[in-house]
Structure formats: C-alpha cells, structure tokens
Amino acid sequence: MKVLVTDPISIEAIEKMKKAGLKVDLKQNLDKKELIEIIPEYDAIIVRSQTKITKDIIEAAKNLKIIGRAGTGVDNIDTEAATQRGIVVVNAPGGNSISAAEHTFALILSLVRKIPQADKSVKSGKWDRKRFMGIELRGKTIGVIGLGRVGYEVAKRAKAFEMNVLVYDPYIPPERAKIIGAKLVGDLDELLEKSDIITIHVPKTKETEGMISRKEIEKMKDGVYIINCARGGIVNEKDLYEALIKGKVAGAALDVYENEPPSPSNPLFKLENVITTPHIGASTREAQISVGMIVANEIINMAKGLPVKNAVNLPSLEVTEFEYIMPYIKLAEKMGKIACARLGGKFKRVKVTFKGKLSGMRTEYITRATLKGLLETIATDVNLVSSLPLAKERGIKVEEVRSESSEVYESLLEVSVSSNGKELFLAGTCFSKEDYRIIKIDKYKVDFIPAGHYIMSLHEDKPGVIGRVGTLFGKHNINIAGMIVGRYGERGGVQLMLLLVDDPPTEEVLRKMTKLDGIIDATYVYL
C-alpha cells in the first residue's frame, strides 16, 4: 500500500507504517492542483487540519481506499463523497484526552496561584509577594460540566488534589461518576451554585452554545473561577468580561475563543485576572504521537485486510448492498435524532427491527446509524463505529430483531426507544436513494421525508388549535412550509402534528406554543 502524508505527523507513526511494509511519502504544503495531480497513485492519505480533502480530490483519487485524519474532527474531509466512493474515513478520537485534561489543570493551578502574573512581576525586577496570594485546591469544590473522555480525566485528577467533585452530564449513568468518586448532580444550576471552580468539557452544539452566559454566571458563587478548554462560544465572552470587571468571577482561564484566532483587541486580554493560551490543549508530543499512531494502525489494518476501529463512515461494501442500505442508514440516523429530541436525550433501551428484504442485509450499520442519531447531539466523536461502544458505555441496551415479513413494503425499518417509562416508536421505508420516509410515529400514521427544520407536537383534536399555532408563528416571522397531522382513531382525543418550517424556532417561541390552548407539547429537531 502506498501512503501519502500531507500534514505533519509524528515520526514514530511514519516509521511504524514503513516497518509494516507500507511505502510512505511525505509531501507537505501542497496546493489543491498539486494534490489532484498526484493523488491517483496513492492507496491512503493522512492529513491533519491544513489539507482539505474535497470532492474534487476524492474523484481524482482512483486508487484511494482510506483517508486518515490525525485528530478528532473531520471537517476538512468531504466524508459523504468518500462514502459514495467506498473510501473509509478514519480519525483518532481520544488520542489527546490526557493532554487536554492536563492542560486544564495547568490552567487551574496557574489561575488560582497567579503564576503567569507572578512570573511577569519577578522578571520585571519586582518582589511583590503579597500581591500574588492564592488559594489551595484541597477542600474546594470543582464543577465539571461534561463527563466525556476529557471531563472524566479532569475529574480523576481533581480527586487526587482532594477536591470535592461535582459533575453535570444528563447523558451519562450515575455509575460512571461514582467510579471516580464524583457526585453527579441532577441539574446545571446545582453545580453552578455550589462550585468554587467550574471547568467545561462539552462539545459545541446548538444546545451548548452560550451555555455559560449572564444568567448562569449570576447563579454562581461570588469569586468563582471559570476554565474553558473545550470549544469557543460555549462561554459568552462579553458576559464573562462584565462578570470579571464586577468581581463576580475572580478569574478565568481560556484556551478556546468565540473567534480563532481572536482579535488582539479582545477586552478579556486586558484583564490581569484572565489567563489565555492559543488552543494548545492537545499540543503535546505525547498527544501528537498518540493520534499519529492511532491513524497509522488503521492504515496498517486496512493494508492487511483487517477491520478498522475508528471509521467515521461505512467500511467498503459490495456495490449492490451499499446502494440498497445507504438510504436506510440515512433514515435510521434521522429516526435516532427524532427519538433523542422527543425523549430529551435520555434513553435506556433501543430496539431496531428489520423487516422484509432488509432483514437479510448487513444491518449492523443501520443499527449503528440509529445510535449515531441518538447520541451525536449529546456526545463527542460519534460515528458509525463509535456509536455502539458509546451506547454501551452509557448503559443503553441495544436489541436487533429480524422478520422476513414487512407488510406491504419491500423493506421496513422500525425503531423503538425507551427510558424512564417513556417510549417512542418510529417506522420507515425507502423507495429510492433519496426517497426515504417515516411512515409512523407511535400510533400515528404519517408520511414525510425527514429533512429540514421540524416541530413535533401533540395536541387536542379540536377546532382552532392549528390556527392558533399559525398565528403565533406568523407573529414571530416563522414561515410554515409544510404540515402533517397524524390522526389516530375517531374525532377528538390527542393527535400528532408535524410542522416543517423554513427557520428554526427560538426557545421562546416553543414555550409560547406549549402555552396555547390545546397544545400539549412541542419539540424542535433539525433533520
């Protein structure tokens, strides 16, 4: 196998591939035209962030079998184009968790002991010891928001410092926190109110953007310390600045920013009680060796014909099977997203049923796609390979059922998700590559392509309800592009309404909708 490396990776990773018999070429700083010219001769390519693997490059890659990203995200790779060509895309999730956790603690210690300020003072010829009075970590309460890979490692280290550890993560079982002696709190407010130090370790999503803003800061202790080594935008920088100026927040340490690189005029940079680093949480030699070695092992496994562990997309399939199951993979992921939204991101059991022709296919990929849809808004590094281990890690029971009978359809996919006494059932089928449809939600018959901004609502079946919703949306300049009402039984009772809108509603609009006469609930989901 011939491997092209276009961005810097560890020499250890390169040597490992060579020892495995692979031919490795290092060609960095290539422009798009140069890459298109040489990519046809390679079986594999390894990139980091600089090289962009676009559709044009993938189409030119006649022999390419695998794309490796020596890092976590794959935003610089056209994964869909690679999947259509049967090219496996792999990344290196978790390879930098320890480095990010250690950097978090470096910032915590630097912040509470005022180390950067003291260093600057001594180097300027001063000896002002009283000015740099700090605090001990022992006995203090640290609030860890998010108990994923990095948050888990931070919490472990906090216990070693004899700190009281509170954890907020609504998507993990209490057992995971207990293992490291942390206390899992039921809501974010409890963590905010009780913590002396707050550190953030969640992915940036629609739900977490602006997660720490003025309202949340006001609930914190006076003199709290805030650390963000996760993603910029989770902490509202303007609100943080105001809280630092007023003394509500004693200090902040940031490795990530709303805009990167940040503007030199950012007012936070003028405050002495703010410590900043240039997004270097994963910038250690060990982390770079780790991510390089993870990807190198994946390339070697591919060369040997062995399965890869960190595939972001599907492994190669037979052409006919690939074409048949691809729309079901898309459908399954959308079903998972709906279930996650309707059940509030909490679930304990997932049952996936395959009927008809589908029951004889390699349905593992469809099950994993269902789990990906369920988990991707509440966890990091979720792909078709990682979704199943992540589900097991969270104590989610996964069951597959097969039946040759599929009623009137050639194939039928059914998904049932349950948790805490609640259950959601969805059924769907596919008529072509792009025509995948959900035909049933719970007991309600529907028929729609799950794509776009949807609001799902239960309502009382009586006159005026739909009109009131339309009036509300009109007042807020939200255009309703389509509507489906799934009626069950006779007139009256509780019915299901699906609204396709051109733009996502605000939380305020959803709250107002649920207060309308006849509306029972309302959930937004982007499909």
pLDDT at 234: 94
Residues 292 and 297: their CA atoms lie apart, in Å, by: 9
Beta bridge partner(s), residue 401: 353
List, for residues 166-186, the tens digit of each pLDDT value: 999 988 888 889 999 999 998
pLDDT digits (tens, 9 = 90+) for 298-312: 999 888 877 677 888
Whole-number Å distance between alpha carbons of 117 and 111:
9
Q: What is the 3-state secondary structure (H, E, C) of 242-309?
A: HHHHHCCEEEEEECCCCCCCCCCCCHHHHCCCEEECCCCCCCCHHHHHHHHHHHHHHHHHHHHCCCCC
Question: To the nearest whole number, what is the mean pLDDT of the chain?
Answer: 91
318, pLDDT greater than 80: no
Query: Quick check: 361 pLDDT over 90?
Result: no
Nearest to 87 by CA among 290, 298, 330: 298
The closest of 277, 310, 292 to 100, measured between CA atoms, is: 277
Residue boundaries of the structural domains of the chain: 1-95+284-316, 97-276, 317-451, 453-527
Instruction: Report the catalytic residues.
Output: 231, 260, 279
**Is the pLDDT reported for residue 71 higher than 90?**
no
What tens digit of pLDDT does each residue of 139-158 get?
999 999 999 889 999 999 99
Q: Determine the pLDDT at residue 302.
A: 85
Q: In terms of CATH, what superfamily is 453-527? A: ACT domain (3.30.70.260)
Q: Which of 414, 470, 469 is nearest to 442 (CA)?
A: 414
Tokens, residue 24: 């490795």
Q: Is the pLDDT of residue 415 over 60?
A: yes
% of the chain beyond a pLDDT of 70: 98
Higher pLDDT, residue 250 or 395: 250
Do the domains at 1-95+284-316 and 97-276 have one common CATH topology? yes
* Class of the CATH domain delimited by 97-276: alpha beta
d(CA 501, CA 513): 14
- DSSP of 341-353: HHTTT--SEEEEE
Q: Give the relative orientation of helices 97-113 and 285-304 as an angle to the nearest 10 degrees.
A: 170
Decide yes or no: CATH 3.30.1330.90 for domain 317-451: yes
Does this model's pTM top 0.85? My answer is: no
Q: Is the pLDDT of residue 2 over 60?
A: yes
Residues facing 286 on adjacent strands: none
pLDDT score of 486 more than 90: no
CATH superfamily of 1-95+284-316: NAD(P)-binding Rossmann-like Domain (3.40.50.720)
Is the Cβ–Cβ distance between 499 and 483 less than 8 Å? yes
Instruction: Note the pLDDT of residue 254.
Output: 97
Partners of 249 in the β-ladder: 224
For 432, phi then psi, to 5°, come to -160, -175
Residue 226, classed as helix, strand or coil, is strand
Phi-psi region of 489 (alpha: psi -120 to 50; beta: other; left: phi over 0): left
